[in-house]
Chain A
């Protein structure tokens, strides 16, 4: 077992992990952060997307020990207290959420996109989320929600 420290949503969590333990499992099972979902375990569905050191990653493809000391944001870290992130509010307002299982991963992918490209085109949005599978919505409302949030954040800044 390895004693490491995970920096998640601005908090430091000392954990003891096996060398083959995955970040997604440690987040969900040890830290109780079950907002990050597991849909495939092979990096194909994007449900476990978190932002690590500024980049979106599939937490099911990251060993927990490789995530040590790197700043990680999960869906639980998006809102500030009860104030939702503009992306979260936009997802609700635009009907971009149905069953909600892919939603945390999509929100994190969108967050990472907007941090890098504050004013993406529709095609940039679609390309960015092409690795996040959603079986319910057909994506149109998700794309609109992300574009609207970008506009709002851009307008604020």
Chain B
């Protein structure tokens, strides 16, 4: 492999200066002449008939410009997988936090006051607050029209189940019948909020011709653009979306969110309107990670060989499917974990309830699934008397394995990440030697990325600088810096000569967006192809100008010319000028990328998950100390080893991994949106605690750099993977420290304390209030 100049170097992000000086503009920083302030009135009932909305008192206040409700919004149904949502509730509200009306007024103080004057008459209906209630044959249907909703795949739907799927391979029954030991466990993961420090905000303005411009923070410019146009019933040319800097996404700023309501308010008020959520609204009315329940069964031989695995998944979607269908499908896809298990079955149901309207977060079902799989692995290891690391090493998946979803695994480097993590953490010397109340735990992860279209353009400016156009937004992950490195590498330029243009729906070519760990792999490939097109055009121009065979031309060190004859070369800028003034410029290259892979059509029933271009792997090791008096867990040391393919920017990937681990620590130990009677109780940062600088230890990060043949310069990406193995690594470390196998996250001090007391008394912890597996109770083992 030849060495790279730009790829693989730690380059500080290009937008660093605007961000450290306070000059970077985020959506809440926008002000416009004549601007009004908007608020949304959200339902405060989990389920009720919407009898009447009386806004007359609000409208009578001087300065209130407009109130809109479902009656003013088009009856367009939205949804990522299943179109089950209207912009505003109509006839019935189905959760607390569902938009009912919106209002615009001349000042923030006025709109806050006027909002309270909108009188809504509700007729309460009995809400479905548990999965058992929603699945009961006598349950009322939350969506009587479910069968008629359009969907991107003919998902199996019935009752309050908006998606049910089965996938399997091998002879699962036979393997269980032939097994030496069978292990079984129930696992629960909590609702968790993305909790970006920037709450959602946007600004909408119509010009005199009726064309709309929206400034917003979004992870998906192209999708936001098309949903806005659909909401207004106008062509895409009549809507312009300008993304500004985004203050944290993590799956919380997908598709359109506030934008359609903001646009409808601006249209009604005939003035620019800014809409900004409060922190409480951010927690209650945006779409956090959905709570999951898992039932796992595994069949093994006494020697540790895994023979079969059966996974049953139940997801509480809240009243609309949002991304929950996709997360459940992805959980099924990787349900066997990074292991070679010939006989597997996965079954998932996504269930409507009147709980909050959940969506997805970093990890997208794979984080949830990884907790269940990896905690279960340690229970199996304990049952068989095998070290958890050895059980994993013995059963790792291999290159070319076909997993339960019929995906063929490619670019498998889980053995490398395990070996790196074991060495870097000193696991072998520490296991069993940590001292009282201390423990060490290991967990693996598997994730897939490479899906849906990306495109980009690369343009050479008159002075030889280069501009990249993409609808990918850099949501803080350093994507743009990595794109600049990719383009600089292809064109043989300094990274400083390459800039990524501010994204704008009017000029940025279509991209699915900054989601699903896909921006380096998919977006990066599109950018690479666009740059290669420019390279080829320039090569042909220079070959002709110098009378040199095109095959001899290279772009390196800011020059274009013969690789072997130094006299036969031109500076990049001069070569570009020749192109421009001989009618072969301006040099513009386009790149389109869609990961290869057949859509798995015939996999079980109702499956319909898309192809994946490549797979990502990783291994984490956590060391913890548990205070037996309080149940408090402190993470002492942490090691995260990842297989992300070639690393484009080391400082960038380190930041992604460290940040993901911190979020994982939150999910493992304390983060949970607590819901009672459909209401989130802890909708603020005092009661919903995020990890602070005192909760996150120093993290040892390593990447095993195995180039992927399909990624840009061999890169696969990182994105979501750092959060995925954290909770099970910590849970397994707690098991090592205390003997308590946690099967619910977060493992709060209260849950762990009760479980420790229960273990001490030689019995299980007290049964839970809700019909969910007991928090912190030991898993049921059978074998």
A-to-B contact residues, CB < 8 Å: 18, 25, 28-29, 32-42, 44-45, 47, 74-76, 78-79, 84, 88-89, 91-95, 97-104, 107, 125-127, 129-143
Which residues of chain B come closer than 8 Å to A129, judged between CB atoms?
692-693
Q: In the complex, how many angstroms separate the beta carbon of B273 from the nearest chain A beta carbon?
A: 16
Q: In the complex, how many angstroms separate the beta carbon of A117 from the nearest chain B beta carbon?
A: 15
Task: A36 to B24: give the CA distance in the assembly, Å.
Answer: 11
Known: A91-B20, A95-B652, A100-B19. 14 other contacts (CB 8 A): A34-B29, A35-B22, A37-B28, A40-B279, A75-B20, A88-B21, A92-B16, A95-B651, A103-B19, A107-B20, A136-B659, A138-B663, A139-B662, A141-B655
Q: In the complex, how many angstroms separate the beta carbon of A12 from the nearest chain B beta carbon?
A: 20
B477 at the interface (CB under 8 A from A): yes
Is the contact region of chain B dominated by helix, strand, or loop, or is it mixed? loop
Contact assessment for B250 and A135 in the assembled complex, using a CB-CB cutoff below 8 Å: yes
B153 at the interface (CB under 8 A from A): no
Cross-chain contact of B13 among A35, A42, A88, A92 (Cβ < 8 A): A92
Q: In the complex, how many angstroms separate the beta carbon of B519 from the nearest chain A beta carbon?
A: 14
Contact assessment for A98 and B655 in the assembled complex, using a CB-CB cutoff below 8 Å: yes
A37-B197, A126-B694 are known contacts. Are A137 and B662 too (CB-CB below 8 A)? Answer: yes
Cross-chain contact of A101 among B198, B477, B662 (Cβ < 8 A): B198
Contact assessment for B696 and A100 in the assembled complex, using a CB-CB cutoff below 8 Å: no
B661 at the interface (CB under 8 A from A): yes
Contact assessment for B16 and A91 in the assembled complex, using a CB-CB cutoff below 8 Å: yes
Kindly identify, within residues 14 to 44 of chain B, every residue whose CB is under 8 Å from any CB belonging to chain A.
Answer: 15-17, 19-26, 28-29, 31
Contact assessment for B690 and A135 in the assembled complex, using a CB-CB cutoff below 8 Å: yes
Which residues of chain B come closer than 8 Å to A37, judged between CB atoms?
26, 28, 197-198, 247
Which residues of chain B come closer than 8 Å to A92, judged between CB atoms?
12-13, 16-17, 20
B475 at the interface (CB under 8 A from A): yes
A92-B13, A130-B692, A139-B693 are known contacts. Are A101 and B196 too (CB-CB below 8 A)? Answer: yes
Contact assessment for A141 and B658 in the assembled complex, using a CB-CB cutoff below 8 Å: yes
Kindly identify, within residues 695 to 718 of chain B, every residue whose CB is under 8 Å from any CB belonging to chain A.
Answer: 696, 698-699
Contact assessment for A41 and B278 in the assembled complex, using a CB-CB cutoff below 8 Å: yes
Contact assessment for B17 and A98 in the assembled complex, using a CB-CB cutoff below 8 Å: no
Interface centre among A93, A95, A138 (most CB of B within 10 A): A138
Q: In the complex, how many angstroms separate the beta carbon of A20 from the nearest chain B beta carbon?
A: 8
Cross-chain contact of B478 among A36, A98, A125, A127 (Cβ < 8 A): A98
Contact assessment for A40 and B248 in the assembled complex, using a CB-CB cutoff below 8 Å: no
Cross-chain contact of B659 among A29, A36, A74, A98 (Cβ < 8 A): A98
B134 at the interface (CB under 8 A from A): no
Which residues of chain A come closer than 8 Å to B152, judged between CB atoms?
none
Chain A, residue nearest B19 (CB): A100
When A and B form their complex, which 5 residue pairs have the shortest distance between CB atoms, in order from nearest? A35-B22, A99-B476, A101-B247, A100-B19, A138-B662
Contact assessment for A103 and B198 in the assembled complex, using a CB-CB cutoff below 8 Å: no
Task: A109 to B13: give the CA distance in the assembly, Å.
Answer: 22
Cross-chain contact of B21 among A39, A76, A136 (Cβ < 8 A): A76
Which residues of chain A come closer than 8 Å to B691, judged between CB atoms?
138
Which residues of chain B come closer than 8 Å to A25, judged between CB atoms?
108
B686 at the interface (CB under 8 A from A): yes
Q: In the complex, how many angstroms separate the beta carbon of A94 from the nearest chain B beta carbon?
A: 8
B246 at the interface (CB under 8 A from A): yes
Q: In the complex, how many angstroms separate the beta carbon of A53 from the nearest chain B beta carbon?
A: 20
